[in-house]
Amino acid sequence: MKKLLLTSFGFFVTLCSLSAQQLDSTSQTPGTKKFFMPGAAVAMYQLNSTSGSPAIGSFMPVNLALFPLVKASDRLFLDAGLNFSVNPDGTVTPSLIELIAYYRINHWMSVFAGNFSPHYGVYLGLLDDYTNRFGVGVPPVGMGHGLQNENGVGIQGGVQAGYSKFTYQLYIANGPQLTVDSTTVGSSNQSGKLDYGSILDNNKNKSIGWHLGYLPFSNSCLELTFSGEYVGKTGPAGSALENVSALSWAVGLNYYHIFNPIMVRVIGEYDKIQVGNANYYNPDTSLKNHVYTFSNQQNGWFAGATLRAAGSRRQFLKNLELGGRVGEYTPPTGALWGSTPINQTTVALTEYVKWDIPVTLEYDILTQSGAPKQNILSAIIFFRF
């Protein structure tokens, strides 16, 4: 199998080299270094009404983000993102969004390295800041609990195949780390959860991640994706939990079309995380047996649609978009942090003041068996600069 793998890689590298030669013969001379740093700021007012409790409204400056982008040459590109989130006590916490160096090998492939957000499910970029047509007041429960930022290397690109188009990403990364907590009592105990984005790996094993996108129509109006990540070891090296594996996968759909004068968009995703069985320790002193295990599987889905009078002559109507979304997240019931499924219904009305400055009124209903119903109204302005 290893020989086959090496042969495949050899063939693959040869293909890349041939294509790189083609690129050299047609590409322009290297350009001068170019730098650009757009940014974004989000502020909102949120009214949270939980059954049995008084409704509480708060004005919230949510965060400020900066995106330094550097085109070092025709082939070399640096993509970074820094976030400054405002905490409930008013303090600011800086964090890294992404830090990726890309090198374009040929017409259809770039190699990248650094801290990146994998193309997973409906790519996070589709539901991020000004691209989010359902508001950013309450994140969709059906996504965001899976893959997060990774540290690693990979290849990606897009290729035309007749009338259709393919997009792909393949990477190797540090992978997620299994959370093991033997001291916290109750639902705050996160044992069995996967922690992503650590720059120091906890074992020698690396994760493999992939994304395959298929755009069957010539106008790229429909994209179907299948993506995932597998890691053979998530526990600390040398520990009894080292060999606990994890498989995450997701399918996504993004479709838009203008049925003049209305533009319709449909977005959906189903994702699943399967972590290997393991024994964990519950420190609760009231228990006789502290060792427990559970089926560590969780899944989520969401489906949403938007309508927009894109063909209207009135600018206000043309820039107004109505969105509706339903979703569900099912955590593992046996985990200390687990619970019954959470359902979400979202209605959002967005007016685009500029192409990248949406003002959104979002209403979310969160229901969960055994927990009070939550109604959350968010008024959000997203300012891209």
Partner 1 sequence: MKIKIKLLYILVSALIVSTAIMNACKTPEAISSKSGAQLWGENCNRCHNAPDPSTYGDDQWEVIVEHMRQKALLTDTEIAKVLDFMKTANKQ
Q: Is the separation of the CB atoms in 156 and 110 below 8 Å? A: yes
Torsion over CA: 7, 10, 16, 22 (sign): negative
Residues 156-185 contacting partner 1, CB under 8 A = 156-163, 165-170
In the complex with partner 1, the residue whose CB is nearer, 175 or 300, is 175
In the complex with partner 1, the residue whose CB is nearer, 102 or 270, is 102
- Rg (the chain; Cα; Å): 23
Residue 30, Cβ density class (10 Å: 0-12 exposed, 13-18 middle, ≥19 buried): exposed
Cα-Cα-Cα-Cα torsion 96, 97, 99, 105, nearest 10 degrees, comes to 170
The answer to whether residue 316 forms part of the interface with partner 1 (CB under 8 A) is no
In the complex with partner 1, the residue whose CB is nearer, 242 or 328, is 242
Tell the smallest beta-carbon distance from residue 142 to partner 1 (Å): 19
The answer to whether residue 249 forms part of the interface with partner 1 (CB under 8 A) is no
Single out the residue of 15, 92, 240, 262 in contact with partner 1 (rule: CB under 8 A): 15
**Residues 49-68: x/- map of binding to partner 1 (CB under 8 A)?**
--------------------
Cα-Cα-Cα-Cα torsion 55, 61, 63, 65, nearest 10 degrees, comes to 150
Single out the residue of 150, 223, 271, 362 in contact with partner 1 (rule: CB under 8 A): 223
Tell the smallest beta-carbon distance from residue 82 to partner 1 (Å): 15
Distance spanning both ends of the chain, measured CA to CA: 51
Strand ranges for 205-356 from DSSP E? 207-215, 222-231, 246-259, 262-275, 280-281, 291-292, 297-308, 320-330, 342-354
Neighbouring CB atoms inside 10 A of 169's CB total 21
**Residues 349-378: x/- map of binding to partner 1 (CB under 8 A)?**
---x--xx----------------------
Q: Is the separation of the CB atoms in 267 and 126 below 8 Å? A: yes
Single out the residue of 24, 25, 36, 183 in contact with partner 1 (rule: CB under 8 A): 36
Q: Is the separation of the CB atoms in 298 and 272 below 8 Å? A: yes
Residues binding partner 1 (CB under 8 A): 1-2, 4-5, 8-9, 11-12, 15, 31, 34-36, 69-71, 77, 79, 100, 102, 104, 107-108, 110, 112, 119, 125-126, 130-131, 156-163, 165-170, 208, 210, 212-213, 218-221, 223, 230, 232, 254, 256, 352, 355-356
